[in-house]
Amino acid sequence: MFVTANEHAGKAVGEVHRNLYGLTDLRFVKAPEEFESLSVLDCVFLALPHGQALEIAPRLPTGVKVVDLSGDFRLNDADEFREHYGREHTAVELQREFVYGLTEFNREEVKNARLVSNPGCFATATLLGLGPLAASGALKGRVVVDAKTGSSGSGAKPAANTHHPQRSNSFYAYKPFTHQHLPEIEQALRGVGAGGRWSSELVFMTHSLPVSRGIFASIYAELNEELTAEQLKEMYADFYRGSFFVRLVSGSPDINWVKMTNFCDIGFAARGRQVAVFSALDNLVKGASGQAVQNMNLMFGLEERTGLLLVGGNP
């Protein structure tokens, strides 16, 4: 086992990530230039900027399983990829072999996969919150998703409008109608449940929260018939039966309850045929690395919760 980070090569993991000090003897190394040597590995996690996995994944030994955390292999449509990621997809044939790794939707497919594309953080929060309604055919008309994220979703390096001091006492929308997770969400909704039932217009808006981590998505929809919040909760409980990391709560969830964990908490409100579904998760765990480990567990026949029984804080 080894971990790469070219700019930190030679440094101890606990030196770079001080919260891990004393917990591991691993040191960062440079990424290998030749990939044949990686055939001795069981699994490779690619946690790289968008575009780099396109170059690396096709060169990895075919006996190695791969979980890619970037957006490079999430979209089936090369034209949509070009539009939302601003580059040509150079591994279209390999893309067809990737399974979309939203674990709770594609558990059986992930179990049998060699290549898994880990979902985006906004996509995970939105899909877990909206999926049961989409699968049931209960939706009528437009669906509005109002999603908010903490500053850590922008990565470790500061940039204009993403650096935490800029965001900490501020609140604003960004990428209206154009966020790269939108086509990913629509693609997954078309395949959820019975499949082919998703036909609603989706309005997807993202905002910057003045916190370091966490995603909170508010999903507003109209249904074909009246449902109470308790009836919604029953529908979701049936859909997520056996999904340990989805917790259904009364009223609103709170990002404090899910920070540092692999849980997604979902709550409900209803007024006649109008419903609101709220989902909260940690953008770096269930929205990224935690879900990647969850997928790896399934790919290797391990218990799904292995290494992921993490407890959140309050507050």
Name the phi and psi angles at 293, rounded to 5: -65, -40
Per annotation, catalytic residue among 116, 121, 211, 227: 121
pTM of this structure: 0.93
**What is the average per-residue pLDDT within 68-79?**
95
- Asked whether the predicted pLDDT for residue 158 surpasses 70, the reply is no
Q: How far apart are CA 109 and CA 99, in angstroms?
A: 7
Which range of 11-20, 168-177, 183-192, 302-311 scores highest in mean pLDDT? It is 302-311
When pLDDT is cut at 50, 70 and 90, the band that residue 154 belongs to is: low
Q: How far apart are CA 147 and CA 214, in angstroms?
A: 11
Q: Are strands 115-117 and 99-100 parallel, antiparallel or unpaired?
A: parallel
Rounded CA separation 209/242 (Å): 32
- Is-catalytic flag, 121? yes
Tell me what percent of the residues of the chain surpass a pLDDT of 90: 71
* Phi, psi (deg, nearest 5) at residue 77: -95, 115
From first CA to last CA, the distance across the chain in angstroms is 35
Rounded to whole angstroms, how far apart are CA atoms 177 and 157?
25
The helix/strand/coil state of 217 is: strand
Q: Which domains does the chain have, with CATH numbers?
A: 3-118+287-299 (3.40.50.720), 121-283 (3.30.360.10)
Tokens encoding 2? 């080894």
Confidence of residue 210 (pLDDT cuts 50, 70, 90): confident
| Among the ranges given (47-51, 192-196, 212-216, 284-288), the one the predictor scored with the smallest mean pLDDT | 192-196
How does the average pLDDT of the chain come out, rounded?
91
Average pLDDT rounded to a whole number, residues 46-66: 93
What is the separation of C-alpha 90 from the centre of its chain, rounded to a whole number of angstroms?
A: 23
> Does pLDDT of 193 surpass 70?
no
* pLDDT at residue 164 is higher than 70: no
The reported pLDDT for the residue numbered 130 is: 96
Q: Is a pLDDT exceeding 80 seen at residue 307? A: yes
Residue 114, Cβ density class (10 Å: 0-12 exposed, 13-18 middle, ≥19 buried): middle
